[in-house]
Amino acid sequence: MTIHHPTESPAEVASSTEPESAVRLGVVGAGKMGLSHLSIARALEHVEVVGVCDATDYLLDILGKYTGVRTFGSAERMMGEAQPDAILIATPTGSHAALVGSALDNGLHVFCEKPLTLRADESRELAQRAAARGLVAQVGYHNRFIATFQEVKRLLAMNAIGRPGHILAEAYGPVVLKQKGSTWRSRRATGGGCLYDYAAHPIDLVNWYAGTPGSVRGSVLHSIFSSETDDEVYSTFLYDDGLTAHISVNWSDDSYRKMSTSVTVSGSAGRIFADRQEIRVYLRDGVEPPPGYRPGWNVRYTTELTPPVSFYLRGEEYTAQLESFFDDIHAQERHARQNSFDSAAATDAILDAIVQDAERPDPAMGPLAGSAAADERRRMRRRWGLKR
pLDDT at 1 over 50: no
Overall average pLDDT of the 156-172 stretch? 98
Residues 100 and 247 in one domain: no
Neighbours of 131 (CB within 10 A): 15
Q: Where are the alpha helices (DSSP H) in 83-119?
A: 96-105
With H, G, I as helix, E, B as strand and everything else as coil, classify residue 319. Answer: helix
Entry pTM = 0.88
The predicted pLDDT at position 94 comes to 92
The predicted pLDDT at position 371 comes to 55
pLDDT at 306 over 90: yes
Task: Report if residue 371 sits inside a domain.
Answer: no
Residues 162 and 135 in one domain: no
Task: Report if residue 86 sits inside a domain.
Answer: yes
pLDDT at 6 over 50: no
Average pLDDT, the chain: 89
pLDDT at 381 over 70: no
- For the four alpha carbons of 370, 371, 374 and 376, in that order, the dihedral sign comes to negative
Task: Report if residue 364 sits inside a domain.
Answer: no
Residues 166 and 67 in one domain: no
CA distance 177 to 191: 17
User: If pLDDT is split at 50, 70 and 90, which confidence band does 192 have?
Assistant: confident
The predicted pLDDT at position 190 comes to 59
The predicted pLDDT at position 312 comes to 94
Domain extent, residue 120, equals 10-142+331-340
Neighbours of 388 (CB within 10 A): 7
Residues 56 and 153 in one domain: no
Residues 240 and 213 in one domain: yes
Residues 154 and 262 in one domain: yes
Overall average pLDDT of the 62-72 stretch? 95
Residues 287 and 188 in one domain: yes
pLDDT at 209 over 80: yes
pLDDT at 382 over 90: no
Overall average pLDDT of the 167-177 stretch? 95
Residues 134 and 182 in one domain: no
| CATH (domain of 296) | 3.30.360.10
Question: Which residues contact residue 347 at a Cβ distance below 8 angstroms, ignoring those fewer than 6 apart?
Answer: 115, 141, 200, 203, 204, 207
- The two beta strands, 278-283 and 296-301, are antiparallel
Range with the poorest average pLDDT among 68-77, 219-228, 318-327, 361-370: 361-370
Residues 50 and 124 in one domain: yes
The predicted pLDDT at position 178 comes to 87
The predicted pLDDT at position 368 comes to 45
Overall average pLDDT of the 264-287 stretch? 97
- For the four alpha carbons of 145, 151, 157 and 162, in that order, the dihedral sign comes to negative
pLDDT at 165 over 60: yes
- The two beta strands, 232-238 and 244-250, are antiparallel
Residues 263 and 181 in one domain: yes
The predicted pLDDT at position 359 comes to 92
